[in-house]
Amino acid sequence: MIDIRDGSDLRTAYRVLHDMQGLTPLPEREEAVQGHIRQLKKDIRMFLRHQEQREPRRVICDRGIDGYVELVRLPGSFPSEEKAAAFFEGREAVRCPDSPGRCTGLAYTRWYRIVCRQGGMWAYHGVAYDV
């Protein structure tokens, strides 16, 4: 269905859910529509549960409208920095959707650096705003 990674994706998922619940499906497609609704609700719950269990993060440098730098602890142990970077790209990196005029005001990952610190992997994460 929808890959929910951040607040913007969550809002989109709720809009799609609301639209799907408001439509009347074709008689032979009722079960399929109900299945999609169930899966979307499950995806929303999984995202919200993941948000509650997120590893601690600290903003270490706030640059106002230019963004901020945060320190993120990556969960578990990784055999190499490359594996940790792949995890970060998949789970923590924030992508700004392409839009024709740009200037969306959304946050996106500008840079990151994986470091081994205190026996675990951490990431310095530079976030900027699309303005």
Residue 53, classed as helix, strand or coil, is: coil
pLDDT at 70 over 80: yes
**pLDDT of the residue at 113:** 94
**pLDDT of the residue at 100:** 67
Alpha helix stretches (DSSP H) within 23-70: 30-52
Mean pLDDT of 78-84: 88
**Edge-to-edge strand order for the sheet containing 107-117?**
57-62, 68-73, 120-129, 107-117
Instruction: Give all strands (DSSP E) within the chain, no chain letters.
Output: 57-62, 68-73, 107-117, 120-129
**pLDDT of the residue at 55:** 62
**pLDDT of the residue at 52:** 65
pLDDT at 126 over 90: yes
pLDDT at 105 over 80: no
Buried b (16+ CB within 10 A) or exposed e, 27-59: eeeeeeeeebbeebeebbeebeeeeeeeeeeee
Q: Rounded to a whole number, what is the distance in angstroms from the first to the last CA of the chain?
A: 30
**pLDDT of the residue at 112:** 93
Q: Mind listing the pLDDT tens digit for each residue in 36-57?
A: 889 999 988 888 887 766 666 7
Average pLDDT, the chain: 83
**pLDDT of the residue at 125:** 92
